[in-house]
Chains A and B, each alone.
Chain A
Amino acid sequence: MACEVSTAPLSLRVLVERRAAIAPCFVLDVSLVIPSGITILFGASGAGKSTLLDCIAGLLQPDAGHIKTGDDTLFDSVSRVNVPPQRRRTAYVFQSLALFPHLTVEENVAYGLPHLPAEQRVERTAEILQAFRVENLRARKPGEISGGEKQRVALARSLVTLPRVLLLDEPLTGLDAELKALIVDDLRAWNSARKIPILYVTHTRDEVDALGERVVVLDRGCVVSEGLPHEVLDAPRRKKLAQAAGFENLLEATVVELRESDGVMRVRVANTAGEIEVPLGYATPNDSIQVAIRAGDILLATQHPAGLSARNILAGRIVSLKQRGTMVVALVEAGAIFTVHLTPGAVRSLELTAGKPVWIVLKTHSCHLVS
């Protein structure tokens, strides 16, 4: 058992219904097969990500369905199997990490190994502390180490038990991208030998891009999309997904004309005379559609641009400029209000101020259709 390599996929079909007195009831209805390696579970908060993890770990009993790792049934509503969390051999790292504050790092990590003889326990603990580069902290308490170190300890504690499945509920929030990448690298290295399925929950687009693994998108309790990040998230098919995936601009528009041979169509943005060209979609003239555009994909010009490949140029006026971190968020009125992300340098060199007339420039393929 100690050196068993688990490549058994996690397969599940889970139905959870929450009935609330006032709020509309929440339903989680998901069928998934999670192969070995990292799978990202992506969705806005409230989409049911944590509920799903709780079901897999056995903290919450689904109303119906089944959960299996390989051939082992962890839960089955038909044959009334419900393995308690203690015997599921799943590892779960919560967002809060839930390190035991009164135990040292070493005691925390050894917590899941009471059945081992002392010698082996010490050895296994030392090994995993080393794999996650926290062996020098073994005598410290969780309150005495940094956020990133805590996250490493939490990973080590859950993986030292050699679980069959690893569940990560936004475990790396609050870390900068570089530190996050280092920890994920160590996790990948650990898993290269074990190949267990890892379900990694996040609601931030940046993290999905950084991990670059298979994504399952959850929205209001349902799987709406599955695939690689750029396949799934760059062509949002649902409004909520569009917002969650970082499309700050969501415009109502009416289809004017299809140009099949060019692979584009012209649409009129609601409340404006302005027409823009967007990629061809399943639509006919006069259909109402939604167009999603990232704030970072929009160009601003202070003179009418010429000699550009971009097909869409709209005249507008700056409403406001707000500094947010190292980025400036501009609201531009061009019939509709556009959110545009700029660098402070661009704002300075273009001498942008509120009220200044500008032109919005959009590439056709920066405009994504939401149906």
Chain B
Amino acid sequence: MEALLLSIRLAVCVSAILLVIGLPLAYWLAYSRWRGKFLVESVVALPLVLPPTVLGFYVLVAMGTRGPLGKLWQAAFGHGLAFTFTGLVIASVLYSLPFTVQPLLASFESVDRKLLDASAILGAGALRTFRRVILPLSVPGVITALVLSFAHTLGEFGVVLMVGGNLAGVTRTVSIDIYDHVQSLNYAAANRMALILLAFSFVVLSIVYGVNRRIGRRVWSPWPAR
């Protein structure tokens, strides 16, 4: 149970941070006219195709006592980043970034440009237009983004193992716990955890597809529907 609670704590932190980062990032990707935008889009989408171990490896190197991030952290807080909960959060944020940004981007882009023009002509600046028009019309996208990043973080394995290791109560998440149980041939315990994750994932996906269906148009999701 400790592992499950830790996973949930991690997923809540990561989803919250991702929303804060994802909203402005997706806004910029949706409306910037910069020609090199596709490069940033590629970087954001990288975790979708990269093996988690590759991402985890580089994050670990960066966070290590001789890595740039690790050194900075050491100087500021007096301890390293690798194999800590904070380190795990940072790695998970990177790993789940596309699962937040893509649904947000898709729903921002589906907002009729004429509404934005109308808002500007009625005197609203970019922030007011975002708050009063873009965001309310993107609620399904925000829900999808939150649910997907939460679920994705909850289920991750490779990155956690690379960056967090396996410290009970600090970095031992559900998926690591299941792996441990299987390694020690404790199939009953593994099954309990696995069932919880399975049920949870099903509920999450039902929410996402239910929201998509309710609003009659598809918000981005990584799995092809229908």
Binding site for B on A (CB under 8 A): 57-59, 84-88, 90-92, 94, 96, 98, 100-103, 111-112, 114-115, 157-158, 161
Contact = CB atoms under 8 A, between A and B. Distances in A.
Contacts of A86: 120-121, 123-125
28 contacts: A57-B117, A57-B121, A85-B120, A86-B124, A86-B125, A87-B123, A88-B121, A91-B121, A92-B117, A92-B118, A94-B114, A94-B117, A94-B118, A96-B114, A98-B114, A98-B118, A100-B115, A100-B118, A100-B133, A101-B137, A102-B136, A102-B137, A103-B132, A112-B123, A112-B124, A114-B124, A157-B122, A161-B122
B119 A111 contact: yes
A59 B136 CA distance: 23
B219 to A, nearest CB: 16
A97 to B, nearest CB: 8
A296 B153 CA distance: 71
A166 to B, nearest CB: 11
B110 to A, nearest CB: 12
A41 to B, nearest CB: 18
Contacts of A57: 117, 121
A87 B123 CA distance: 6
Interface residues of B, number: 17
Q: Interface majority SS on B: helix, strand, loop or mixed? A: helix
Interface string B117-144: 1111111110010001100110000000
Contacts of A98: 112, 114-115, 117-118
A254 B136 CA distance: 65
Interface in B43-75: none
Residue of B118, B125, B136, B137 with most partner-chain A CB within 10 A: B118
Nearest to A59: B117
Contacts of B123: 86-87, 112, 114-115, 161
Given A59-B120, A88-B121, A112-B124, 5 more contacts: A85-B117, A91-B121, A96-B112, A111-B124, A161-B123
A81 B15 CA distance: 44
Nearest to B125: A86
Nearest to B126: A86
Interface in B88-123: 112, 114-115, 117-123
Contacts of B119: 100, 111
B114 to A, nearest CB: 4
Nearest to B124: A86
A43 B112 CA distance: 26
A114 to B, nearest CB: 7
A102 B119 CA distance: 13
A101 B132 CA distance: 11
A111 B129 CA distance: 10
Residue of B119, B123, B128 with most partner-chain A CB within 10 A: B123
A84 B117 CA distance: 11
Nearest to A91: B121
A111 B132 contact: yes
Contacts of A112: 122-124
B170 to A, nearest CB: 44
Contacts of A111: 119, 122, 124, 132
A274 B117 CA distance: 56
A96 B116 CA distance: 13
B33 to A, nearest CB: 13
A358 B82 CA distance: 95
Contacts of B112: 96, 98
A107 to B, nearest CB: 9
